Amino acid sequence: MYRAGSFVASHVEPTRADQHQPNGVDLTLDAVFEQREPGRIGRDGKEVGARQEREPETVGGDTTASGDRDVDAGTYYLEEGSYVVRYGETISIPEGHVGFVYPRSSLMRNSCMLNTAVWDAGYEGRGEGLLQVHHDVELVEGARIAQLVLAEAEHDGEYDGDYQGENLSP
């Protein structure tokens, strides 16, 4: 059974009220990376290829509720291709649950797709996803790009892999 958005929100931080959804929590864009070197996945291990973080541009930004422009907003201009995105929130998948991250429909409506993997019970970190851009798009830092949902699930143990604590400050 999938859990209510309020339950999911209790395992994601920080969040704003506009991120809370009936069945999950929206995740925001923190950073965009381009893969620069090949990675390797073998039978006895893996290596993530070198990446370069893209720098956002400072532009006019979004219009605020008062009608002013948010001039500090950083915008990523992404051409057709594949990128790795990092989410802005720390996620903790609780015992007895499994997490799934889905793209927000606004991404798909702009010819983009977000691919993710299963998030096992016990995982904690600021995860990443693979953003496929099929037509040029602008994404603003902090924009809601994905939604995390949690489902109750039996499991054997908890996650204790290489990505435990990823992207958390030391």
Digit-coded pLDDT (tens) for 44-61: 999 999 999 999 987 655
Strand partners, 87: 29
Domain boundaries, the chain: 5-37+75-152
Collect all residues with Cβ–Cβ distance below 8 Å to 168 and sequence separation of at least 6: 90, 124, 125, 126
Contact status, residue 107 vs residue 139, Cβ threshold 8 Å: no
CB atoms closer than 10 angstroms to residue 85: 25
Prediction pTM value: 0.88
Q: Is the pLDDT of residue 116 over 60?
A: yes
Q: What residue has token string 């390797």?
A: 40
pLDDT-based confidence at residue 153 (cuts at 50, 70, 90): very high
pLDDT of residue 1: 92
pLDDT > 70 fraction of the chain, expressed in percent and rounded: 91
Query: How wide is the angle at C-alpha 52 spanned by C-alphas 159 and 148, nearest 5°?
Result: 40
Q: What are phi and psi of 18, to 5 degrees?
A: -70, -10
Decide if pLDDT at 136 tops 80: yes
Interval 67-114: pLDDT, tens: 655 555 689 999 999 999 999 999 999 999 999 999 999 999 999 999
* Tokens 């541009």 found at: 57
Report the topology of domain 5-37+75-152.
Deoxyuridine 5'-Triphosphate Nucleotidohydrolase; Chain A (2.70.40)
Which H helix or E strand runs over 165?
Answer: none
